[in-house]
A and B are shown apart, each in its own frame.
Chain A
Amino acid sequence: MRETSVTKTSVTKTPVANADTFTGTRQPASALTVDRLSVRFRLGRKGKAGIVHAAADVSLRLRRGRVLALVGESGCGKSVLTSALLGLLPANAQTRGRALLHGPGGDLDLCTAPERRMSRQVRGRRIGLVPQSAASHLTPVRTARSQLAESMRHLRGAASRSDVDALAERAGLAPASLDAYPHELSGGMAQRVGFALALAGEPDVLLADEPTTGLDRALVDHVTDGLATAAAEDTAVLLITHDLAAGRRVADDVAVMYAGRIVEAGPAGDVFADPWHPYTRGLLGALPDGGFEPIPGHPPELTDVPDGCAFCARVPDAPGPPCNGDPEPVAVGGRLIAGHVPC
């Protein structure tokens, strides 16, 4: 079915077989390419209680030195991607497609790599994770310093006191506060310890999964600035967030996800200034400074995603370019857009 829909495209609107879409002069090197990745979960015995389509044909490209923000409402399947890329999906998950981690030793498909290789070579070393609530990732009975030092010893072989201090400072944490126990740290400080842990193995790719939820604005800015700094040091950063303001602040590229699919993607400046997809318009219009209008209805259940354009099933007469019903994003002028292709 999906293959036949591609035939509708014209010369300027080419079908997208992979994520290589953002045009521009001299793109930085790719660090990670997600190529038509689908993740589904079978519920109940043999999937009889239903199938959750958490991600469908997602294509993304993470480049060194750039921040890609993946935005969308809660429950749209964003976080499943981090689990998939780290090889941490539960046993009832099935994947299709590829996620290639590029490196000097060739490409590694993260979806099929053996667990032994993921744990010894990838997690922490080549891909770092900044978790949502860092405080719950810390051991309550040991100081932040001892946990950072342990991670550094494990990932780099050795860690002197000054190495740990330097790592903490990179994450925006004063070395003096490292001697505190997790319960003595504020949410923002715990988040910075989590950030330092993600940097401990000097990864090429940083995945930040909702790192700013529940933090106040100053701390949000601090965390996003930390991600920008990591990108400036040639790391590829994926920022997964429902906080559009944070995404707008830091992202070089943006991808908008709705009901498990990428509906719009492109350079952040272009997409935020002139959103094409009605869902992107709706998200920006819901911001306090964007009109404060909620999007009507609810996102679909991922067990029961409608065929065709899932957003039109929720808001049939949304303003913007009319829908051609094709859920597959196509490339138009250096951007990706699903269904609502502008004339």
Chain B
Amino acid sequence: MLSAKDLVVGYRRGRPVLDGVDVELHPGATLGLAGPSACGKSTLAAVLALLLEPWSGSVTLDGQPVRGFRHRAPATQRTAIGVVFQQPRLAVEPRWTLDAVVRAPLVASRRRDDGIVAELTEAVGLTRELLARRPHEVSDGQLQRACLARALVLRPRYLICDEMTSMVDASTTALLVRLVRSVAAEGTGVLAVSHDDALLEAWADDVVRWR
């Protein structure tokens, strides 16, 4: 279980964005988090992705307390959590091919490709020809497919999707969500953040609504 207790976190001193938030992600379950812009959804997602250090409160990953965030997070904890962001263009190295983008986590953690890259790229519908291209040669939707494959390539136990589908069209949305649901069915715990209530109703097991 990936959980946070009594979170207080913000960006400016004295003005916390989250104040006393508790959340639990269970393996195999999808938690939807809905709410308007600027309500703190992405802040919570960033903390659970170990990308933002809370001012106070605790984050626990499968029974182990998380002691460091960002580059200070231990590799075993960092690689247990995958993240997909809203804007794929801001989330990939523009000079790499999509194939290199998807493989990057394997290279960084010195793991071998046991066929997972082929499996995932097929599941997100990226052909060999598309994988050879660079980000400026593909659409936002195609790039987001690569970002989801990259987030799953280390077989994370938890997946954080922060507005994963808000820049892509309806058909790509349906495809990406179908893949995330299938990895959730295999035991991955998922946090799905979105402002789209109808989407979360169709996607998540439980939906929490913030104001």
Contact = CB atoms under 8 A, between A and B. Distances in A.
Q: Which of B37, B86, B139, B170 is most buried by chain A, counting CB atoms within 10 A of its CB?
A: B170
Given A213-B166, A219-B37, A288 B172 contact: no
Contacts of B196: 216-217, 288
Contact of A218 (B36, B130, B201): B36
A286 interface: yes
Given A186-B38, A219-B37, A245-B198, A293 B125 contact: no
B6 interface: no
A292 B197 CA distance: 14
A242 interface: yes
**Pairs A-B, 5 closest by C-beta atoms:** A216-B195, A294-B175, A288-B202, A294-B174, A286-B170
Interface string A286-313: 1111001111011000000000000000
B106 interface: no
A322 interface: no
A294 B202 contact: no
B92 to A, nearest CB: 16
Given A186-B38, A288-B202, A292-B177, A217 B170 contact: no
Task: Tell me whether chain A's interface is mostly helix, strand or loop, or mixed.
Answer: loop
B141 A74 contact: yes
B171 A214 contact: no
Given A74-B141, A216-B36, 17 more contacts: A73-B169, A73-B171, A74-B168, A188-B37, A213-B166, A213-B167, A215-B37, A216-B196, A217-B195, A245-B198, A283-B169, A286-B171, A288-B173, A288-B174, A292-B202, A294-B171, A298-B142
Interface string B156-176: 000000010011111111110
B203 interface: yes
